[in-house]
């Protein structure tokens, strides 16, 4: 593993002069409007380095995301970020989330299909009236769209799940949050929606988030805004610590707790130190399945093998 200075010099600046890199960055991202030759020289000499947010923007701008993940060190996570993340994931190790004993044949899987053919993976969320209303509304309008899902499945059950899609119009309409979305100047046609997640354990949470973040960074990084659904104070607090803002709440869900919708800038979400470290950690697993031109051996860490027992399948 190498630091950002080596990545910049050996991968990027060998392919293009500094002046060209500066122009590309300035034209594509407002964050680099004030970038000058002195600052770029400091980065290449290792005197300073850009923030994680800017590092991701640079790697994405020049089409070197995979090399960035492979060559650069796993980001150092500030203690406060680590504590916040552990507080969030520890809730999934409670007896409530582990009513069923984890199966020894659990497998991590990925599926991209329509909302109607993937719904069995997250149909447990239909017990929440607000979500049922949205699903029924979309079915009545015969609205079909692609959904991407990372999930952990045993022979008996779907144990954990993360799903997301680009279609938001009907959901926003049914929840009645058009006015709030307009106030935030969010383009509904250029927006990503993460549905309600479920994790059997903290390990499941880390694995699925790590893979979903890779997908987000590689395929949806330039979608400026993301909506996320949360339930419970712990999840709300975690999203707010990431920098997300509450845009909608449903507090009339009897017996099932409240449901909240948050908004966050997609690139800021991806560049959070803890989340980016998860993306780097699980990048080899992600790349094995999503970059068939670069086949590599599947190499899950020992702890993950102990938890899941099976390789990731597609």
Categorize the per-residue pLDDT at 294 as very low, low, confident or very high, splitting at 50, 70 and 90.
very low
312 pLDDT tier (thresholds 50, 70, 90): very low
User: Could you give the strand order of the β-sheet that contains 146-153, starting from the edge strand earlier in sequence?
Assistant: 107-114, 146-153, 158-165, 191-194, 225-230, 259-265, 245-250
Q: Is the pLDDT of residue 296 over 90?
A: no
Is 203 in contact with 307 (CB distance < 8 Å)? yes
Q: What is the pLDDT of residue 72?
A: 80
Pick the more confident residue, 312 or 35: 35
Q: From the centroid of its chain, how far is CA 1?
A: 23
Spatial distance between the Cα atoms of 216 and 303, rounded to a whole number of angstroms: 25
Cα 267 to Cα 271: distance, rounded to the nearest angstrom: 6
Q: Give the domain ranges of the chain.
A: 4-71, 79-308
pLDDT class of 304 with cuts at 50, 70, 90:
low
CATH of domain 79-308: 3.40.630
- Report the first-to-last Cα separation within the chain, whole angstroms: 28
- Distance (Å, whole) CA 277 – CA 73: 9
- Residue 314 pLDDT greater than 90, yes or no: no
d(CA 165, CA 215): 12
How many secondary structure helices (H) and strands (E) does the chain include?
16, 7
Residue 117 pLDDT > 70:
yes
pLDDT 10s digits, 3-26 = 899 999 999 999 899 999 999 999
Report the share of the chain in percent with pLDDT over 70.
Answer: 86
């Amino acid at each position: 593993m190498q630091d950002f200075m080596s990545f910049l010099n050996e991968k990027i600046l060998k392919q293009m002069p500094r002046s060209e890199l500066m122009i590309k960055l300035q034209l594509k991202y407002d964050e680099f409007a004030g970038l000058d030759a002195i600052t770029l020289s400091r980065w290449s000499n290792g005197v300073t380095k850009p923030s994680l947010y800017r590092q991701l923007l640079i790697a994405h701008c020049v089409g070197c995301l995979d090399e960035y993940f492979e060559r650069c060190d796993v980001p150092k996570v500030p203690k406060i970020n680590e504590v916040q993340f552990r507080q969030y994931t520890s809730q999934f190790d409670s007896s409530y989330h582990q009513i069923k004993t984890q199966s020894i044949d659990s497998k991590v899987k990925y599926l991209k299909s329509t909302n109607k053919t993937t719904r069995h993976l997250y149909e447990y969320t239909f017990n929440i009236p607000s979500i049922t209303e949205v699903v029924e509304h979309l079915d009545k309008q015969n609205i079909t769209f692609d959904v991407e899902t990372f999930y952990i499945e045993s022979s008996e059950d779907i144990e954990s799940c993360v799903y997301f899609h680009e279609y938001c119009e009907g959901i926003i309409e049914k929840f009645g949050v058009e006015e709030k979305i307009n106030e935030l100047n969010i383009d509904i046609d250029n927006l990503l929606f993460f549905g309600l997640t479920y994790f059997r354990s903290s390990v499941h949470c880390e694995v699925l988030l790590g893979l979903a973040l890779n997908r987000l960074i590689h395929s949806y990084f330039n979608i400026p805004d993301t909506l996320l659904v949360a339930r419970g104070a712990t999840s709300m607090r975690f999203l707010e610590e990431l920098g997300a803002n509450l845009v909608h709440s449903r507090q009339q869900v009897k017996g099932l707790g409240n449901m909240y919708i948050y908004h966050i800038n997609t690139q800021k979400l991806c560049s959070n130190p803890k989340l980016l470290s998860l993306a780097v950690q699980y990048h080899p697993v992600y790349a094995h399945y999503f970059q068939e031109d670069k086949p590599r051996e599947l190499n899950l860490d020992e702890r993950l093998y102990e938890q899941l027992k099976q390789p990731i399948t597609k």
